[in-house]
């Protein structure tokens, strides 16, 4: 399988395409040991797409983009969550290339007009401190119609087709994403440089300046998102303290429309 417009050195160089699979993340984890960094697994349909926190990811046939990338950076386990931010920033840029404005809901959602259009699930295999591989899985709601969403998600989720009114070329968006991803991932992999990624996450944040709920180990606290620091952590002002929130530890919920 080849994707036109792909202009990368190693991201998406090998592409494994399925008409249908249970979950591209699950498959990517099964084969990651034997595959090169940058191998892309994509599917036109997932029968058991996985979201964060054990949720399902609705993956109707050819109506969304469902893919997973295998990465093998030489980084510390504590750095892994930052790969999610690189994915979010790359998707924000790819959508901009298609004249679509989106916001990044730190750390792993892309939202438009307060509704979720894409989500990222980053998983890894490691020893105490050595990473064997990372799988970053992304689901983008490109051409779903309202009826394609489960009832309980209809007011929280949307698709690019619903917001733009036009059919999205899935392969083009995927190629644009991969091109941006490689450019943002290289400096991170080489010397943990996240500068450009953070700039994009900050500049297009759905949270900064807003009241949010931080959910950690079942406890909910309300605060105001102040900023994203240079390490990609979220800074929250609570009633009597300012705290640094590391991604991977928490769930963030906006108090307004956005999820
Ligand atoms: C979330 O927002 O909860 C994350 C959603 C991630 C969905 C993608 S679709 C491709 C890849 N395969 C999966 O099973 N999940 C991810």
- Rounded Cα distance between 151 and 55, Å, is 15
In this prediction, residue 67 carries a pLDDT of 98
What pLDDT score does 233 carry? 94
Q: Which pLDDT value is given to residue 152?
A: 87
| Helix ranges, the chain (H) | 24-31, 82-97, 160-164, 170-191, 195-203
For ligand 1, atom 11, name the residue with the nearest CA: 137
The pLDDT, as a whole number, for residue 251 is: 76
| Predicted pLDDT at 190 | 96
CA 7 – ligand 1 centroid, Å: 24
pLDDT on residue 249: 62
Nearest atom (ligand 1) to Cα of 53 = 3
SS3 assignment, position 120: strand
Residue 129: both structure tokens together: 């401190």
| CA 52 to ligand 1: nearest atom | 3
pLDDT tens for each residue of 175-200: 999 999 999 999 999 999 999 999 99
CA angle in degrees (0–180, nearest 5) for 103-108-109: 45
Hey, whose CA ends up nearest to atom 16 of ligand 1?
137
CA 105 → CA 22, 38, 186, 216, distances in Å? 27, 25, 23, 17
pLDDT of residue 258: 52
Please tell me the distance between residue 103's alpha carbon and the centre of ligand 1 in angstroms.
18
pTM over 0.75: yes
Give the pocket of ligand 1 (CB within 6 Å): 23-25, 46, 49-52, 55, 57, 66-68, 108-109, 119-121, 137-139
Which of ligand 1's atoms lies nearest the C-alpha of 24?
12
What is the per-residue pLDDT across 122-157, written as a single tens digit (0 to 9) for each? 999 998 878 999 999 999 999 999 999 999 888 899
Q: How far is the CA of 193 from the centre of ligand 1 (A)?
A: 26
Tell me the average confidence (pLDDT) per consecutive run of 10 residues in the chain, 259 residues long.
86 97 98 98 98 93 98 94 97 98 95 95 91 97 96 92 97 97 98 97 94 86 94 94 84 66
């Amino acid at each position: 399988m080849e994707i036109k417009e792909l202009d990368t050195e190693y991201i998406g160089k090998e592409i494994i395409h399925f008409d249908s699979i249970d979950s591209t993340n699950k498959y990517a984890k099964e084969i990651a040991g034997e595959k090169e960094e940058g191998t892309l697994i994509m599917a036109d349909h997932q029968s058991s797409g996985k979201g964060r926190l054990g949720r399902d990811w609705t993956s109707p046939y050819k109506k969304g983009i469902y893919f997973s990338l295998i990465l093998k950076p030489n980084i510390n386990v504590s750095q892994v969550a930052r790969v999610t931010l690189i994915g979010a920033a790359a998707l924000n840029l790819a959508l901009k290339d298609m004249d679509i404005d989106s916001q990044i809901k730190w750390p792993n959602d892309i939202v438009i007009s307060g509704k979720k259009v894409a989500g990222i699930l980053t998983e890894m295999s490691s020893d105490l401190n050595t990473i064997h591989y990372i799988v970053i899985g992304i689901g983008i709601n490109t051409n779903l119609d309202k009826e394609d969403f489960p009832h309980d998600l209809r007011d929280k989720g949307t698709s690019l087709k619903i917001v733009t009114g036009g059919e999205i070329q899935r392969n083009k968006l995927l190629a644009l994403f991969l091109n941006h991803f490689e450019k943002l991932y290289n400096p991170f992999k080489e010397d943990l440089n996240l500068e450009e990624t953070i700039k994009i996450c900050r500049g297009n944040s759905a949270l900064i300046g807003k009241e949010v709920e931080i959910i950690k180990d079942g406890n909910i606290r309300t605060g105001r998102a102040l900023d994203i620091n240079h390490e990609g952590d979220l800074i929250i002002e609570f009633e009597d303290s300012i705290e640094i929130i590391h991604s991977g530890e928490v769930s963030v919920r906006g108090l307004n429309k956005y999820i």
